[in-house]
Structure 1
Amino acid sequence: MNSYLLAFKSGFGFLSTIPVGISMEGIDELMKKIYFYPVVGAILGLLIGAIAYIGQSIFPGPVLAALIMGSVYYFTGFNHLDGVTDMGDGFMAHGSCEKKIKALKDTTLGTGGVAFGMLVLLAFYGSIRSVQEEGITAFGSNLPLLMFGSMFIAEVSAKQSMLTIAAFGKPFPRPENQAYPGLGEMTINGATRKNFLIGSIFGAVVCFLPFGFIGLLPYLAACISSLVLLNRSYSHFGGLNGDGIGTANEIGRVTALIIIAVILKLSLNTGGLEWTLL
């Protein structure tokens, strides 16, 4: 199989629940061409956006918000959310970096993990509802298009957030008994300046399409959120691992939606922002 097609296919095997199959050869190719992360995010965003578009015409807002969340995790799985809970346990642990890393890698779920996971899920739900509520006044009958574009941008932003945190991060020191890099280290090593630049440009272009320049604001905010998370990961753990990269995905998605809701609210108050719908 062509290396680009193998990397593209492996992107879905690695970042989604779509049963395309995955192999170590495919993962190696994906890491060499990790700019496919936001490409996969764009296609997943089209699927999730289509559900939001159709659902907005059928279901009440709170029900649709829950269905959108369900569709996100149906297509993307819970691996990244698991990273959120692991990071929460590590953040809550007291003591040295070694103790915090031990808590991070512990397979049991602690209070910090539960709390962090719940906060992210509540923020996800609240951000979807905020886009709906602020958008109904501004867009009226075009609200389904707004929801489609918002979920599309959110998923592209989530995947670009992973690429961003990996591009600027450094991995944990590898244990002496571990001969080969883990997936987190492989992701960081693959996120070269060239791959980061290609992915960033692609993400910016496709996020521009639904709303014009306004669509770039949530995209950039999501990338910034990943750098804030990276700073916290360095502070607590002295580096970055796969859990931190997965957490960047979840926080990046929520950040993008929050910024869209804020822009909607500001545009209603000032009348100064013009939206371009598709």
Structure 2
Amino acid sequence: MEDDNYFQEEGFSPIKSLLGLLTFSTILPINVFTSIEYMTRMVWCWPFIHLFIGILAAAFGYVCGEFLHLNAFLTAALVYGFLMLITGYNHLDGVMDMADGVMVHGNPEKKISVVKDSSVGAGGIATLFLVASITIAGLTNILDYKFIAGIVICEMVAKSSLLTTALTSRPLTPGIGSYFITSTHPGNYVLSTVIVGIIAFLLGGVTGIIGLIGAIFAGLIISLIAKRNFGVANGDVLGMSNEVGRLMALLFMSIALYYL
């Protein structure tokens, strides 16, 4: 079996690092591996990689709704399942692990030990159920408005939520999450967010921008919760931020679609 070695020594290549990031975060058969240090140099481009994933999900949703004539709820559930599958369920363990750590009583060291524990508690399972259910409900709502571009936007800005948490957090070391956190700084964060905002506006107008605001808000909230409970953030916290960012983007866009 081939090792997924992200730590091998090599020269930096932006294209290879982007493909490595795509390999890292999806099940697409790209199979390009690079060192974690070089891969995370391009972390500010992560939303644009998931712009592509969002387009695939939107196309899948369009086929389900317009050609197979499935109702909005079933289409939303299938789109959510598609997103989870194509991303290899990459962040779902983060949702459960962080939730378990937040729910347990004790000092930050005890909470961090629970986050790192491979077992899953009731808090983690319940939180994952709530996040998944509300996300599907949000997808249903935007599909009721025929706002299929919202699928693309919510998947793209979920990574903006993750970057917001990374920017405002202190990393727990060692760990893969620490590389993403230390590689996110104000310069590349602002550049990424501005480009994401332009794309979101082109796709969804003011509603798209409001979706981005919802994702950024989610990233700040998850960062604050992590600081209060753990003092630091790791890959699980970033995973939680991604999933809650998608959810909050859908919630903000759903409200905007009614009022705008």
- Give the alignment's TM-score, normalised by structure 2: 0.91
Q: Structure 2 residue aligned with 1:97, among 108, 111, 116?
A: 108
Asked if 2 retains the 8 angstrom alpha-carbon contact of 1:127 and 1:261, the reply is yes
Rounded Cα–Cα distance in structure 1 between residues aligned with 2:55 and 2:108: 40
Q: CA, structure 1 residues 112+22, in 2 after alignment: closer, same or farther (shift >3 Å)?
A: farther
Give the 5 Å matches for 1:258-277: 258-266=251-259, 273=260
Partner of 1:152: 152
Greater Cα offset, 198-207 or 150-159? 198-207
Q: Which has the higher contact order (CA 8 A, sep 6+)?
A: 1
Q: Which residue number in structure 1 is paired with residue 208 of structure 2?
A: 215
1:102-117 residue pairs with structure 2 within 5 A? 102-117=113-128
1:162–1:249 contact (8 Å) kept in structure 2: yes
Distance 1:61 1:211 in 2: 19
Task: Give matches, 1:240-255, under 5 Å.
Answer: 240-255=233-248
Q: 1:55 and 1:29 mapped to 2: Cα distance?
A: 38
What residue number does 2:55 align with?
46
Q: C-alpha separation between the residues in 1 aligned to 2:49 and 2:142?
A: 24
Residue from 34, 40, 45 that aligns with 2:43: 34
Q: Which residue of 1 aligns with 2:194?
A: 201
Structure 1 spans left out of the alignment, 5+ residues: 136-142, 175-180, 267-272, 274-278
1:178 matched residue in structure 2: none
Q: Name whichever structure is richer in helix by fraction.
A: 1
Deviation at residue 171 of structure 1 after TM alignment: 1.0
Corresponding residue number in structure 2 for 1:270: none
Q: CA deviation at 1:238?
A: 0.9
User: Size of the alignment, in residue pairs?
Assistant: 248
Determine if contact 2:16/2:32 at 8 Å carries over to the other structure.
Answer: no
Equivalent-residue separation in structure 2 for 1:221 and 1:201 (angstroms): 15
Superposition deviation, residue 84 in structure 1:
0.0
Shift of 1:24: 4.2
CA distance in 2, matches of 1:239, 1:9: 29
Shift of 1:205: 1.3
- State yes or no: 1:166 paired with 2:177: no
Following TM superposition, by how much is the alpha carbon of 1:22 offset from its aligned partner in structure 2, in angstroms? 4.1
Distance 1:32 1:155 in 2: 21
Contact 1:37 1:159 in 2 (8 A): yes
Letter in 1 for 2:192: G
Q: What is the aligned-residue RMSD (CA, Å)?
A: 1.4
Distance 2:51 2:101 in 1: 31
The amino acid across from 1:150 in the alignment is G
**How much has 1:2 moved relative to structure 2?**
7.2
Which amino acid in the other structure matches residue 90 of structure 1?
G
Please report the TM-score for the alignment, with normalisation by the length of structure 1: 0.85
Secondary structure at the counterpart of residue 79 of structure 1: coil
Name the larger-Rg structure. Answer: 1
What do the CA deviations read for 1:22-71 (whole angstroms, capped 9, x no partner)? 4342x322211211111111111111111122222121222111111111
Matched residues in 2 for 1:170 and 1:78: separation? 25
CA distance, structure 1, for counterparts of residue 164 and residue 16 of structure 2: 23
- Percent of aligned pairs with the same amino acid: 30
